[in-house]
Amino acid sequence: MELTASQMVKLYMQTQILVGYIYYAPTPEARLLDALNGLSDMGPVKRGRFLELSNVTIQHADGRQEKLPIAYINKATVQLAGTLGDADAGRGIGAHAGPKSYPFVEKSPVPILIETQSYIVTGNMYRVTFQKVWQVLEDTPTFLPLTHAQICTVATGARERVPFVAVNKEHILSLQEEAIGSIGGHKAVEPKNRGGSKKS
C-alpha cells in the first residue's frame, strides 16, 4: 500500500525536542498512538522499537537547532509525543463525529496532571466505565493518550498547548487526578521544585 498521508508530530525527549513528519497509510483510522504502541500494520510506522520521521528539526536544550531529512527515534527515549494542528489525525477512531466503527469503545475523560523528569503535563485521560486510573496505568500499551493538553518544560518553565499528546508510561514519575473543569479551564501549571511538591 502506498504511503501518502502524513502527520506532523513533536517528540519530547530529555535533552531535545524533535519536530517532523510521520507517515501513515491514507485511512481515517491511522493514528500516532498505534505507531507508538506498535499496533499498526501500515508500512514504516511498524518499526518495533523505532519511529521514522522525515523533514526533522531538532531543538537542543542549549538553543541550537539542526535539520535532518530522516531520523530514526528509539520509542523508549520519547517522554511525550504530540500532534500539531489536527487532533483528529492523531487520535483516529472516536475523534470524528457520527457513528463509530469497530473497535471504538466509549470512554469518559478524567482531568489529570502527570510529572516526568523533564515535563509536567495536564490533560484529559480517558477510561471506560468503572475503570480506575491505576488500571489504565497498568494496562498493556506503553503510551497513555491525553487530549486538551498543556505541556510545561521543567527546566525553562515554557508552556504550550497541544490537542493530543501520548505520554510514555515508563517516564511517568507521578500522576494525580485534578479537579473537574481544571483542564478545560486551562489551569496554569507551574514547574515543581524537585525538593517539594508545589501545585498551582
> For cell 500532534, what's the residue?
83
Residue 89 pLDDT: 44
Residue 26 pLDDT: 52
pLDDT in tens, 29-55: 567 777 788 765 444 444 578 888 999
What whole-number distance in Å separates Cα of residue 132 and Cα of residue 137? 9
Residue 20 pLDDT: 93
Does the pTM of the predicted model rise above 0.85?
A: no
Question: Are 20 and 8 spatial neighbours (Cβ–Cβ below 8 Å)?
Answer: yes
Least confident of 41-45, 61-65, 73-77, 161-165: 41-45
pLDDT in tens, 156-184: 899 999 889 999 999 999 999 887 665 54
Is the per-residue pLDDT at 87 higher than 50? no
What whole-number distance in Å separates Cα of residue 14 and Cα of residue 34? 22
Residue boundaries of the structural domains of the chain: 5-88, 108-177
What whole-number distance in Å separates Cα of residue 30 and Cα of residue 39? 10
Q: What does the radius of gyration of the chain's CA atoms come to, in whole angstroms?
A: 17
- Under CATH, which architecture does the 108-177 domain have? Roll (2.30)
Q: Rounded to the nearest 5°, which phi and psi values hold at 54?
A: -120, 160
Residue 128 pLDDT: 80
Residue 175 pLDDT: 92
5-88 against 108-177: fold identical = yes
Pairing of strands 16-24, 143-153: unpaired
What whole-number distance in Å separates Cα of residue 69 and Cα of residue 56? 6
Q: Give the number of other CB atoms < 10 A from CB of residue 184.
A: 11
pLDDT in tens, 107-156: 788 899 999 999 999 999 888 877 788 888 888 788 999 999 999 999 98
DSSP labels, 24-69: E-SSTT--HHHHHHT---SGGG--TTEEEEEEEEEEETTS-EEEEE
Q: Give the number of other CB atoms < 10 A from CB of residue 52.
A: 18
Fold for the domain defined by 5-88: SH3 type barrels. (2.30.30)
List, in order, residues 6 or more apart from 187 with CB less than 8 Å away: 122, 178, 200
